[in-house]
Amino acid sequence: MPRRTISDLLAQANTTLPDNILQEITAADVRDMIKDVIDTFKPGFGAVGNPLTTLVALGITPVVIPYTQLLAVTAEYTAVIASGTVRRNALGLPTVNDRITFFADVACPDGNEVVFSLYRDGLQVPGGMTVSGRGLGNIAAGSFSILSGTAIVGDPVYEVRAAKISGGADNVELSNVRLILEVIPTLGL
């Protein structure tokens, strides 16, 4: 059974599970409703990672963070490691919502700032993070979590890009990089 919107589940309950005065509710009705609820709320993930990568001569032009590991992918997501993207597959839902979490350990010259931004379908999404470098041998950890609060129609593609906003173009080392997308049930309004 597929994921459904919350509105669809409520309509299904009203249609297939009436007050039962006439004994019209069957075991199959209850079983199907329970399965639909479980499928709607079951976890769904699209997670990629990279244990260690260097963004060579990173400057003010944003570059896509690369990944080398496919960590977890359910049917709701398609990860393309080579391009650094994760696509949310709507799978028949009218809209989709996601929680997107990114984190990385960052090593770059002391005082240099690196901004990490989420992009959806090539457009920057509000939010993200800025990490201040503490020297090439010292790691500064950073993370952000963004809810795609506006329902998205279709199959949006997400990526994280990095750019330096202070200091010259330098190598920036990233370790323990993770991009995790999680299903948030859709209201269907």
Residues 46-97 pLDDT 10s: 999 999 999 999 999 999 999 999 999 999 999 999 899 999 999 888 888 8
Question: Please, are residues 70 and 63 in contact by the beta-carbon 8 Å criterion?
Answer: no
Domain ranges of the chain: 6-40, 44-184
Residues in a beta bridge with 159: 119
For domain 44-184, the CATH class is mainly beta
Residue 189 has pLDDT above 60, yes or no: no
Residue 158 has pLDDT above 90, yes or no: yes
Helix, coil or strand: residue 51 = strand
**What is the rounded (10 degree) CA torsion for 164, 83, 45, 13?**
110
Q: Where residue 186 falls among pLDDT bands split at 50, 70, 90?
A: confident
Helix, coil or strand: residue 4 = coil
Q: Where residue 128 falls among pLDDT bands split at 50, 70, 90?
A: very high
Model confidence pTM above 0.95: no
Helical ranges in 17-153 per DSSP H: 27-41
Which stretch of DSSP H or E encloses residue 72?
strand 69-73
Q: Where residue 150 falls among pLDDT bands split at 50, 70, 90?
A: low
pLDDT at 61: 97
What's the whole-number mean pLDDT along residues 5-15?
Answer: 84
Residues in the chain: 189
